[in-house]
Structure 1
Amino acid sequence: MNNSGFIARRYLFSKKHVSLISTLTFISITGITIGTALLIVVLSVFNGFFDVIKSLLLSYDPDVRIEASGSDTFAQNEQLMEQIRSLPEVRIISPYVEGKALLVLDGVQNEVVEVKGIERDLFFQLVDIEKSVTTGVFDLSVRDRTPGIIVHEELKNRLRLNIEDDIALLSAAGMKNALTQITVPQTYRFDLRGAYFLQQVAGGPKVFVDIEAAKRLFRVRNEITGLDIKLHNNEAAEEVKEKLEAKLGPNFEISTWYDLQKPLYDVMYLEKWGSFVVLILIVIVAVLNIIGSLTMIVIQKQRDIGILMSMGYSKKGIKSIFRKQGLYIGLIGCGIGGALGLLLSWAQMKFGLVKLSSAFIIDAYPVQVRPLDVGIILVASLILCILASWYPAHRAAQVQPADAVRFE
C-alpha cells in the first residue's frame, strides 16, 4: 500500500480537535523553525565578520609571500623571478627588505620600529595605500642626497613628528658592527615626507623607506627579505603555494594570506562552528519533543495500527507512516526556519537593523550568507528530525494486531 503519506498527515494535522499531541507537534515545528533560523543568521554574521577582517588584512597582506627557509634573506635573481612569473595566477611581484631599527630623533625618546623597504610603484599595485596617506605625500625618493621615509599616523602623533623632520635609523647590524669594531654606530638619515593610516587588526604599524635605502640600512647588499605576490584571485592562493613549492624547492618558505594570520583566522573558524554546536541544541530540544509527540500518537492510535496491519500493512509500511511524520515536521520547520533566517540576513545586509558601536570599523553587524552553510544547517536539522521518528516507528511496528483490537 502506498498511502502511508496520507495517513501520516492525518495523524499529525487532524483538524477535529486541539489535543496535547497537536500542541506538542506545533512546539516541535516551532523549535525546529527557531533553531534553523538562528543558525543561519548567526553563521552568516560570523561569515560577515570573517570577510571584514579578511578584507582589512588583505589591504596590507599579500596573497602569497615567499621567504627564505632557515635564513633572514635570500638573493634575488632573474631565474627566480621568471619561475614565479610563469604561473598564470600571478599578477604582481613586489620585493621587500624588512627588519627592526632604532628610530633616533633629537629631543624625542628613541623607539624601536619595524622598517620595510619597498619598490614604491610595485608596492602601490600590491597595496592601495596611497589613499591612506593622511599627511604629506608617499615619496621615498632621494632629495638633496637624503631619502624619504613614511611613518604611521599613530607613531607621528605619539612622537610629535612634523613633515620634513630629520629622522635617523640605526639597525641591529649597525650596532653590532660598532660594538665589534669599537666605532661610532652608523646611522642613516631620512626626511619625513608623509604619514599614512591603515586600520591595524594584527601586528604593529610599519615605517616605509625605499628598498635600496633599506638594503644599506640592514647591510644586505643584493639580497632581499622576501617577495610579496598579488594574484588575480586570492582564493587560488593555496593552489599557487603548492605550485611554487614544487618549482622553488625546500630553500624557500611559501605562505598564503591565511598562513600569515593563521591564529586569527583559526580562532574565527573555531568560534563559528562552536556557535553552530551550541545553537544546534535548540534543534535537539525540538527533536526530543518530536519523539514525545510521535510516541503519544503511537499509544493513541494502537487500534488504528492494529486494523491497518490486519488489512495487510507490513511492519515496514507502519514504520514508513511514522518516519514520514518526522520528515514532514522537519520539512515544515526547516522550510519556514530557512526562509526566516535568509529573510533576516537579507534585512540586516540591506538595512543594517542591528547596529554596532560607533568606535568599531563598521556601523552594523556584517552578514554574508554562504549556500554551503545554509545547506549544512538544513540537512543537519532534517536528519535529526528523521532520526527522531526512529523510536516511535519501531514501537509502532511491534504492535500486535489482535491485542491492539482486543484491548482498545
Structure 2
Amino acid sequence: MLLSRYERMIARRYLLPGRGEAFIFLVASISLVAVMLGVAALVVVMSVMNGFRAELFDKIVGLNGHAVVQGYDGQLRDWRQVLAEAKATKGVTSAIPLIEQPLISTYKGRTEPVLVRGMRVSDIRTNETIKDNVVVGDLSSLTPGSNNVAIGSRLAEALGASVGSEIQLFNIQGHATPFGTVPRVIPYRVSAIFEVGVYDYDKAFVIMPMEDAQNLLLMGDSVGMVEVNTVNPDKVDSIIAPLAAKVGNVAQVATWKSMNAQLFDALKVDRLVTFVVLSIIILVAVFNILSSLIMLVRAKTRDIAILRTMGAPRSSLLKIFMTVGTTIGALGIGAGLILGFIFIYFREGVVSFIGLVTGQQIWDPSMRYLTELPAKTDPVEVLGIVVMALIFSVLATLYPAYKAASTDPVQVLRYE
C-alpha cells in the first residue's frame, strides 16, 4: 500500500496528539502497549515451552536413547547377538548394552530409592549427557571391580554424600539360605557427582560399570536392555521396525515416543492451548486500535470533509487511516519483540526476583522435571506471531477507514 506525499503527511499528523485530542492519544498509546504485551507474552511463553520440550527431549534421549530392546523377563541373555542385529539395522547410529534396576541406597542412616544403571566403561565416558555434566569428581575412576560409582546431585544432597563417601546398595534378591533369602548389601564409593538437569534423573541415578552391576544383581553375563540411537528420532518407528521383527521372539522394542507418550502429548496440548489463549490477548489489544481509530475519525470528520472537497479521493482516506492503525500495531509488535527477547535473556533473574518478592519458589525442579527454566526461540514461530498480530492490526483498521472514506462532505459542511 503505497502512499503519496500528502497522504504520508496527514497520516503522520494524525499519529501525533493534537489540541483537544489527548484522550484519543491515550487510547492509541494503550493500544500500542497492549499489542506490545501480547506479542511479548506469546514470544516468551512459546520460547519457554519450546525450550522445555527440547531440553527435556535431549536429556531423556541422551540417557535412554531413541529406543530400547528389552528382554521379556527383564534380561537379555544373548545380548551380543541383539547388539549385532541392532548395529546392522539401517538408520541405527549406535547400540549400547545397559542394565537398569531400582534398588535402595543408604548412607549414615539415610535411605533413598535409586535406579542403578550399569554401562560399559567406554560408554560411560563417551556419553555426552553424563560426561559433560559432572559437577565434582572424575569418571575415569569408574572401572570394573573398583566398586566406584557416579551418582546424581539431588541424590547426593538427599543422602548427604559427597565424593569419597561410601554408600550401600541393597538388592533384596540375594542368596538363598536355610533361613530364607539374604539380601545383598554391597558398599560403593562415590567417585563422581553429576547433574544432567532432569530432577528425576539427578534424584535417582547411580551409574556403575556393567560388570559391577551384573555382580550386584546376580545377572551373570546378561544385560537388561540394548539402547538404540537412530539418525532421526522423529522416524524412529519406521527405522526400528526391521529390528523389532528380527528380535521379536526374545525381546520387545519400545521407542521414546511410547515410553514418554503421555508427557510429550501433554506438552503438545499445553502448547496449543497456551498459543490460543495468548493470541486472544493480541485480539483484545487490536480492538483498542479499532476504538481509538473510530474516535479519531469522529474527531477529524470536519478535516475529512474539507479534504474531500479539495479533491481527495476515497481511496486516499482509506489508506491514511489504515496506515495510522497499522503503524500503531507495528510499533507495538516491534516493542513486544524487544521486550520478549529481553525477558528471555534475563529469564533466570526474573524468576528469582518474582520468587524473592512473593516468597515462593516459582520454578520447582521436583514438579517441572528440569532444574532451570529453559528457552528456545523458533524464528519461524516468531515470524508467525508477527504476521498474525499484523493481520489483526490491519483488520482492525478496515471499519474506521471505511467510515472515513464514506464521509459525505455536503452533510458535514452544511451547517459550518
Partner of 1:21: 24
Q: Does 1:100 align with 2:98?
A: no
Contact 1:140 1:193 in 2 (8 A): no
Q: Which residue among 390, 401, 407 is the counterpart of 1:393? A: 401
Q: Does 1:286 align with 2:285?
A: yes
The one-letter code sitting in structure 1 at the alignment partner of 2:63 is D
Distance 1:264 1:60 in 2: 17
Partner of 2:235: 239
Write the deviation string for residues 88-140 of structure 1: whole angstroms up to 9, x where unpaired.
Answer: 672x43211222346699x9798764332322222321255464564997435
SS of the residue corresponding to residue 142 of structure 1 reads coil
Partner of 2:328: 329
Contact 2:79 2:226 in 1 (8 A): no
Partner of 2:386: 378
Q: Which residue among 188, 194, 198 is the counterpart of 1:192? A: 188
TM-score (norm: length of structure 1) = 0.70
The one-letter code sitting in structure 2 at the alignment partner of 1:376 is G
| Mean CA deviation greater in 317-326 or 131-140 | 131-140
Partner of 2:117: 116
Structure 1 18/368 Cα, relative in aligned 2: closer, same or farther at 3 Å? farther
SS of the residue corresponding to residue 389 of structure 1 reads helix
Distance 1:166 1:7 in 2: 78
Partner of 1:253: 253
Partner of 1:125: 126
Distance 2:113 2:36 in 1: 56
Q: Does 1:40 align with 2:39?
A: no
Partner of 1:30: 33
Distance 1:104 1:304 in 2: 84
The one-letter code sitting in structure 2 at the alignment partner of 1:283 is I
Could you tell me how far 1:287 is from its partner in structure 2? 1.7
Distance 2:180 2:209 in 1: 25
Structure 1 333/127 Cα, relative in aligned 2: closer, same or farther at 3 Å? closer
Q: Does 1:67 align with 2:69?
A: yes
| Mean CA deviation greater in 286-295 or 76-85 | 76-85
Could you tell me how far 1:21 is from its partner in structure 2? 2.9
Unaligned runs of 5+ residues in structure 1 are none
Distance 2:180 2:157 in 1: 28
SS of the residue corresponding to residue 63 of structure 2 reads coil
Write the deviation string for residues 229-283 of structure 1: whole angstroms up to 9, x where unpaired.
Answer: 4568xxx422345422355349443433x76556556666666666655555553
Distance 1:313 1:24 in 2: 28
Q: Which residue among 199, 202, 206 is the counterpart of 1:201? A: 199
SS of the residue corresponding to residue 61 of structure 1 reads helix
Distance 1:102 1:2 in 2: 73
Could you tell me how far 1:379 is from its partner in structure 2? 2.0
Identical residues among aligned pairs (%): 22
Could you tell me how far 1:295 is from its partner in structure 2? 1.2
Unaligned runs of 5+ residues in structure 2 are none
TM-score (norm: length of structure 2) = 0.69
Contact 1:330 1:381 in 2 (8 A): yes
Could you tell me how far 1:2 is from its partner in structure 2? 6.6
For these two proteins, the number of residue pairs brought into alignment is: 388
Partner of 2:294: 295
Contact 2:97 2:226 in 1 (8 A): yes
SS of the residue corresponding to residue 32 of structure 1 reads helix
| Mean CA deviation greater in 383-392 or 264-273 | 264-273
